[in-house]
Amino acid sequence: MTLKCDLQYGRGDASFRLSRVGVRGVHKPVLVQRDDRGRKLNNALNCSFDIFVDLPADQKGSHMSRNVEVLNEVVRESVSEPITGLEDMSSSICQKLLVRHEYARFVEISISAEYFRASKTPLGKDTYESYTLLAGCRQERGHEPERTIGVKVIGMTACPCGQQTVTEMMGYSDGIVVMTHNQRNVITLKLTLPAGKSVEADDLIDIAEASFSSPTFELLKRPDEGQVIINAHENTKFVEDVVRDVLVRVVDRFKDLPDETYVVVESESEESIHKHNAYAQREGTLGELRTENRSSSLFHRIFSLLFSVAFVLLSI
């Protein structure tokens, strides 16, 4: 049967270039192989894919089926040869799609996947906790791919302002840990990596969990539940504190990454005593963050020195 020429190659009724055209929410299983202390471990991930290209003004439509065709090819390849990371897979898809979509100037892909890993409660009980892995790639024709790896992690914060207010209203002395209101906090941490560089998603999860007032857990018996509450109330944080703590840990952990590495950190607290959420965000290059971190450390050292001198003088 002979089919007519693709309608997509015709002209539309209006000549506007479209920024993104494609498919969203395509679900595929992907086999990822990671190195764990010398052992090769395979993780089967249920991934959701969003795939887009731009569309020139003189073309009616995009060939969306090509997006899924390329995705199927890469997924089949991962069965026989597991991929090393979702960000590498997204880069491979981008390069194949630029060949299939000869009219496109760029390709963009986003991937999210549910991920489980072993953990321990504060009192040492074994547990498996869930996280969201994020990955993606954007590639312009004739340029290197921009690969992104990230995570979305759920934890909790305890409000320092509320705790101070309760302390003053109840007449408690300083140093006594008292009640405050709590929030479920969601950290999103993403790094856009230069060519040849990679990071482990587990490292990003560790950074996020260390930046909450406390991590949270799927199952807690009463002693562990109490310990989570105590830990959080001894470590109160604003949503702004969470973002800054993540940034400090990113700078400290990834000393080997080049300055052009792009970092995005978001923290959103689902408030318990308000009907709105609290939100904070920072993005910038690792070089910018390193400069700010050095300046901040120098300021704190000078301030601590001046405070110590003033204390000694007042004690005389």
pLDDT one digit per residue (tens) for the chain, 316 residues? 444 556 455 555 657 999 999 999 999 999 888 766 566 677 889 999 999 999 999 888 888 999 999 999 999 888 888 888 899 999 999 999 999 999 999 999 999 999 999 999 999 999 999 999 999 999 999 999 999 999 999 999 999 999 888 888 888 877 778 889 999 999 999 999 988 898 999 999 999 999 999 999 999 999 999 999 999 999 999 999 999 999 999 999 999 999 999 999 999 999 999 999 999 999 999 999 999 998 766 555 565 555 555 555 565 6
Helix ranges, the chain (H):
64-80, 86-100, 160-170, 201-211, 222-233, 239-253, 286-315
Identity (one letter) of the amino acid at 300?
H
CB contact at 8 A, 206 and 187: no
CA dihedral of residues 73, 76, 80, 82 (deg, nearest 10):
90
Helix ranges, 129-221 (H):
160-170, 201-211
**C-alpha–C-alpha distance, residues 189 and 263, integer Å:** 8
Cα distances from 161 to residues 3, 143, 189, 239, 241, in angstroms, run: 69, 48, 26, 12, 12
The string of DSSP letters for 17-43 reads -EEEEEEEEEEEEEEEEEEETTEEEEE
pTM for the model stands at 0.87
Helix H or strand E encompassing 147? strand 146-158
**C-alpha–C-alpha distance, residues 149 and 199, integer Å:** 8
CA dihedral of residues 98, 101, 106, 110 (deg, nearest 10):
-80
**C-alpha–C-alpha distance, residues 149 and 151, integer Å:** 7
CA dihedral of residues 281, 287, 290, 296 (deg, nearest 10):
-70
CB contact at 8 A, 43 and 115: yes
pLDDT for res 2:
47
CB contact at 8 A, 156 and 216: yes
CB contact at 8 A, 183 and 217: no
